[in-house]
Amino acid sequence: MFTLERKGLDTIQLNLGYKCNQACSHCHVEAGPSRTEIMTRETMISVLNFIDLTSSKNVDITGGAPELNPHFIFLIRQLTDRGLSISNRCNLTILYELKDKNLPRFFAENQIKIIASLPCFSEKNVDSQRGKGVFSKSIFGLQELNKAGYGLKKQLILDLVYNPNGAFLPPDSDDLVDEYRSALSEYGVQFNELLTLTNMPIKRFKDYLIRTGELDNYISLLRRNFNKSNLSKVMCKKMISIDWQGFVYDCDFNQMLDLPAFGRKKIHISEVSSSSLENSQINVDEHCFGCLAGKGSSCGGALQN
């Protein structure tokens, strides 16, 4: 096994809760409509107090569906007032479910970068991984984002996320992006980049691998494709992940596995100083091969060109 050390803090990832309007088969959060874990405003204030003490300029918001958090707008306004660069991980269908709120316009007004899940350009594949009707609602979401200027205006970035619909590594984004552009242009949809992510062998995807008898093969595939040059680029080297209660982890995957930052004991963000993060050991385990295989994988896509 390898070791990893944190080398600074340029991104704070906030998980606003595990509630989601979808329940996708590969979800590493095991999110869904019945989950009740939601970050409170009080916890958000603890996080904001921490951010004020750091030099981190980027906040990456995730969930569940972060837009379902009742304090989502409050948080975005607070982050915008601080001049931070904000990314929101949007499942697209939430823009259909909450269409009365016109979230694309709110995102655009605050110049939030949108990182949107669309694991395929085929309706059949998307619906099989994410649920019946998800593809058409996702297209609605993308069209609304385009109407608000996303994917069209320079400062309004709309990136799409691909992840494999099975136990294999993602292809190169360059090999896939033209097919995405061509297929989505039929709906008049435009976007910036296509990010390719590796499925992590944890939670729902791990259950799927166990059910299909593919777990050992998938782990061997990840190990066989271990690429040492990804070690210096993995996202945890410059990021922390904060859960809905304010506890700190090295990444969202470790959060879901209950592997806290700084070793065994969970530490709340109100007790963390940014200097204590410098050079701290990262809690690694077998699932980390998911980030380190092939061209690598992170919340920002592949690690190598």
Q: Where are the alpha helices (DSSP H) in 59-133?
A: 72-81, 93-97, 103-109, 123-130
Number of helices followed by number of strands (H, E) in the chain = 12, 8
Instruction: Please count the residues of the chain.
Output: 305
Which span (75-83, 104-112, 120-128, 233-241) binds ligand SF4, by CB under 6 A? 233-241
Kindly state whether residue 17 participates in binding ligand SF4, applying the rule CB under 6 A.
no
d(CA 260, CA 241): 10
d(CA 191, CA 151): 4
Handedness of CA 218, 220, 222, 224 (dihedral sign): negative
Per-residue contact string for residues 174-213; x = within reach of ligand SF4 by CB under 6 A? ----------------------------------------
User: Which position among 20, 76, 261, 277 is part of the footprint of ligand SF4 (CB under 6 A)?
Assistant: 20
Class of residue 169 by CB neighbours under 10 A (exposed 0-12, middle 13-18, buried 19+):
middle
| For ligand SF4, the closer CB: 140 or 152 | 140
Q: For the segment 59-98, give every residue that binds ligand SF4 (CB under 6 A).
A: 63-65, 91
Kindly state whether residue 22 participates in binding ligand SF4, applying the rule CB under 6 A.
yes
Kindly state whether residue 254 participates in binding ligand SF4, applying the rule CB under 6 A.
yes
User: Which position among 287, 296, 302, 303 is part of the footprint of ligand SF4 (CB under 6 A)?
Assistant: 287
Binding residues (CB under 6 A) for ligand SF4: these are 20, 22-24, 27, 29, 31, 63-65, 91, 117, 130, 234-236, 250-251, 253-254, 282, 284, 287-288, 291
